[in-house]
Amino acid sequence: MAKPINKRYNDLKSYWRNLFGCNVHKLQIDAGFTCPNRDGLVATGGCIYCDGRGSKLRQQGELPSVAEQIASGKKYYKPHASKYIAYFQTFTNTYAPVEKLRDLYDEALAQEDVIGLSIGTRPDCLAPDVIELLSEYAKKYHIWVELGLQSVHDKTLKLINRGHNFQQFSDAVNSLNGSGLNICVHIIIGLPGESDEDVLTTAKTLASLPVQGIKIHSLLALEGTALGEMYKKGTMSMITKEKYVSLVADVLEILPPKMVIQRLTADGYRDIFLAPDWAMNKLDVLNSINKELARRDSYQGKHYQHLKK
């Protein structure tokens, strides 16, 4: 399989290889969670870009157990990987009583060669008992908490119906800080109403916080979402590849050199994908980002020290 050209940023695969001395892969888990931004606790309808279908497994019927999902995920990678991180990915993976969370996470960590967890969640769904549980695991395992944020701007968070504001995110980061947990923040480039400056402000803000990792996605319009409807009606235009690549390079230059870059592309199911077309070719996007950094003779963190002064 083709590989991205040389990277000028601290990518997750290399980070884990250096840390553990072997290949480490994430195994995606759908543990049957829902989301408070969809079921009415916080809001209904969810974020305007969220298709609400969950994983392919969920669409096919009854979910296999966590152990079964890990076993089938391992088959895909072996013999290339020797260790795994169980990635609780679908919807909000801390949205349940702590006893249920413990059972699910324990089940994952009991599987052979699973050395840690990555828990995808929302900033407003991290009760103190959940943080306590996760920080207990962090004493023995490699644990990431992945916080959906998308933008630091409240006007954008409102527009995309995130159901939380920046202050709630900041509070969550403060609560997690010092607990032994690694924090990864998800942001989206190309959000409606956002200028280039807005995107750079998001990057500068995250660069100043105790955040260890980031996932950067381009906004995708998917069938069955509010954003997809806006796109079809022509009230929303999608970011071009050139603009996305340029902004990702700008953002990488701002971020701390040690921050782990977990993703630079977005994923959407092909059967509901509307736009932008270029986002479907992830390897091309990654190579374009690397080429842009090379063209600038630049790299992650180039402007970070400057920012700190």
**Which region, judged by CB under 6 A, interacts with ligand SF4, from 43-51, 221-229, 265-273, 283-291?**
43-51
Residue nearer to ligand SF4 on the CB measure, 69 or 90: 90
Residue nearer to ligand SF4 on the CB measure, 123 or 256: 123
Q: Which residue is nearest to ligand SF4 (CB)?
A: 46
Residue nearer to ligand SF4 on the CB measure, 73 or 120: 120
Q: Does 46 bind ligand SF4 (CB under 6 A)?
A: yes
**Which region, judged by CB under 6 A, interacts with ligand SF4, from 7-15, 42-50, 256-264, 267-275?**
42-50
Q: Does 145 bind ligand SF4 (CB under 6 A)?
A: no
Give the list of residues 6+ apart from residue 193 with CB closer than 8 angstroms, or none: 155, 156, 159
Distances (CA, A) of 284 to 4, 277, 288: 8, 12, 6
Which residues 164-223 are close enough to bind ligand SF4 by CB under 6 A?
Answer: none
Q: Does 38 bind ligand SF4 (CB under 6 A)?
A: yes
Question: CB of 47 within 8 A of CB of 37?
Answer: yes
DSSP per position, 124-158: T---HHHHHHHHHHHTTSEEEEEEEEE-S-HHHHH
d(CA 147, CA 119): 8
**Which region, judged by CB under 6 A, interacts with ligand SF4, from 1-9, 45-53, 67-75, 278-286?**
45-53
Residue nearer to ligand SF4 on the CB measure, 26 or 217: 217
Give the list of residues 6+ apart from residue 220 with CB closer than 8 angstroms, or none: 49, 266, 268, 273, 274, 275, 276, 279
Per residue in 269-296, is it b (16+ CB within 10 Å) or e — as a string?
eeeebbbbebbbeeebbbbbbbebbeee
Residue nearer to ligand SF4 on the CB measure, 91 or 137: 91
Element (H, E) at 27: strand 24-29
Residue nearer to ligand SF4 on the CB measure, 120 or 256: 120
What angle, 0 to 180 degrees and rounded to 10, lies between the N-to-C axes of helices 66-77 and 98-109?
Answer: 30
State the minimum distance, in angstroms, from the CB of residue 122 to ligand SF4.
5
d(CA 220, CA 238): 8
Q: Does 148 bind ligand SF4 (CB under 6 A)?
A: yes
Q: Does 37 bind ligand SF4 (CB under 6 A)?
A: yes
Q: Does 94 bind ligand SF4 (CB under 6 A)?
A: no
The tokens for 271 are 């059967």
State the minimum distance, in angstroms, from the CB of residue 81 to ligand SF4.
27
State the minimum distance, in angstroms, from the CB of residue 89 to ligand SF4.
10
Cβ atoms within 10 Å of 34's Cβ, excluding its own: 15
Q: Which of 47, 134, 181, 227 binds ligand SF4 (CB under 6 A)?
A: 47
Q: Does 50 bind ligand SF4 (CB under 6 A)?
A: yes
Residues near ligand SF4 (CB under 6 A)? 35, 37-38, 46-47, 50, 91-92, 122, 148
